[in-house]
Structure 1
Amino acid sequence: MATTDQVSADPGAFRMQVVAESIRLFAAQGYEATTVDEVAAAAGVSRRTLFRQFHSKEDLIFADHESLLEQVGELLTGAAPGDDPWWSVCAAAELVFAHFHANRELAVRRYRVVADVAALRDRELVTTYRYQRLFEDHLRSRLPAVRPVQIVAYAAAVTGAHNFLLRSMLRGDPGADAATLRGELVRLHRAAVAEPGAAGAEIAVVSYPAGTSPEAIAEAVRSQLTQLTGTPCHDGLKQAETRGTR
């Protein structure tokens, strides 16, 4: 394949291209036996370009994690002031799972390559902790009154549940899917907000500006209840909307 010093205008697409080609070669030839030059040629870029974008051979196989970490960071920092910080962490975990589910074949090949190389297994552990640290930092910044141990425990639980189901999905467990992950995250969320001192532990009756329509109020309440219970809330709120318009 001809090489070029030009990188795709889409950095995320370029990283996925490099990940795909590096994992394909590592799986076929072995991690140690594959050279960076071979990966560069397969990806259609020069060795110089590849080294400008990545700092080591290990970076090649985990390159998409860098993009994912950026997306997780953006999701958390972009959360609105009124958003539930506990659930924002869950939403970030779902984002990561969705990426690997959508690219399952590639993720399975990486899983097998990493399992055979001790250095890659260590790198994977470090990468996993980087996600957890983002979760912890977000919760600390949004919930300064919550006990640090609760924040660490929650971030670790969300990370652990995600990773367990991700590995199960890669091993072919049909029950390890987005719906199962959502159910586990809902349970963790309920436990977090129920603990004394946790934000969201109480159900409050709030006021809305005069003129707010019953439909708008009902939709806001419905959204919160669905988030807390994991079950769409329709019938009771629809009745409330009807009464409010009479």
Structure 2
Amino acid sequence: MVDDARSAGSTVVAAALALFAENGYEQTSVEQIAQSAGVSRSTFFRQFGGKDDVVFADHEVLLAQLREYLGTAHENPWAAVCEASVQVFRHFAADPDLARRRYAVVREVPSLRDREIVTVFRYERLFDEYLRQALPGLDPIDAVAFAAMVTAVHNHVLRRLLRGTKRVSASVLSEAYDDLMHRFGVHPEGEPAADDDVVVATFPRRMPAAEVARRLGSLR
């Protein structure tokens, strides 16, 4: 699914990032990018609205594909959010050199850094809204907190990839999410019994009430 994003204007994106690295973002024109990518200026504007859209082109495709993924039924919504985030990581980890060039450009241009912050929030909001829809009655604080933690953990692991020179496996992120779901009390495999569990079936006290209701409902 997310693999489809890699083909969205990849030639233009690669050409643009190479020119940004060589000449600087502000000094690079759309005409130079189009010429380097072997496309016309009109073709460029059909694919992208401007230079900044080239930098963030992957995210637009990824966000659309994650909405489709989260729009289908999932046995455990918490795990579905984590898996969606892992898919995003796999996309960028598939071509770490390109991801690092993109990261270097964004770090140097204030307007791109600002847009990056907004883009990250769009993922967080998508996860938040999905959890509230998938778990009716879920405390909004639980939805916001989990979405924010998933996004923060993803960004932490992704920065390890972007700032280093070695590949970082998606399994690193998956393992971090396993720990996160255990901490939140929503891991698909359940939790070991503890003295402070709410005795309904054996659910951790920290588990949101909406998740308790969902799991009880699945036993009918």
TM-score, with normalisation over the residues of structure 2? Answer: 0.81
Structure 2 unaligned residues grouped into runs of 5+: 187-203
Distance 2:21 2:9 in 1: 18
One-letter amino acid matched to 1:29: N
Kindly state the Cα deviation for residue 72 of structure 1 after the two structures are TM-superposed: 1.1
Give the alignment partner of residue 16 of structure 1, picking from 10, 13, 32: 10
Instruction: After TM superposition, list the pairs within 5 Å mapping 1:62-211 onto structure 2.
Output: 62-78=56-72, 80=73, 83-172=75-164, 176-192=168-184, 193=186, 194=204, 195-199=207-211, 206=219
- Which residue number in structure 2 is paired with residue 210 of structure 1? none
The root-mean-square deviation of aligned C-alpha atoms, in Å, is 2.2
Deviations for 1:78-101, whole angstroms, at most 9, x for unmatched residues?
2x2x52111110000000000111
> Taking CA–CA contacts closer than 8 Å with sequence separation of 6 or more, which of the two structures ends up with the larger relative contact order?
2
Hey, what does 1:60 align to over in structure 2?
A: 54
- In structure 2, how many angstroms separate the alpha carbons of the residues matched to 1:63 and 1:33? 20
Q: 1:64 to 1:71 in 2, by over 3 A?
A: same
Residues 147, 203 of structure 1: alpha-carbon distance in 2 compared, 3 angstrom cutoff: closer
Q: Distance in 2 between matches of 1:12 and 1:183?
A: 25
Partner amino acid, structure 1, of 2:121: Y
Question: Does the 8 Å CA contact 2:8/2:58 hold for their aligned counterparts?
Answer: no
Q: Percent identity?
A: 46
Q: Could you tell me which amino acid in structure 2 is paired with residue 153 of structure 1?
A: A
Residue 34 of structure 2 contacts residue 41 of structure 2 at CA under 8 Å; is this kept in 1?
yes
Gaps of 5+ in 1: 1-9, 208-246
- Structure 1 residue 46: deviation in Å? 1.0
The Cα of 1:197 is off from its aligned counterpart by 0.8
* Alignment partners' CA distance in 1, 2:38 and 2:165: 35
Larger Rg: 1
Give, in angstroms, the shift of residue 201 of structure 1.
7.9
Contact 1:23 1:113 in 2 (8 A): yes
In the other structure, the counterpart of 1:51 is 45
**Within 2, Cα distance between the matches of 1:125 and 1:97?**
17
Q: Distance in 1 between matches of 2:132 and 2:18?
A: 40
1:68–1:27: structure 2 CA closer, same or farther, 3 Å change rule?
same
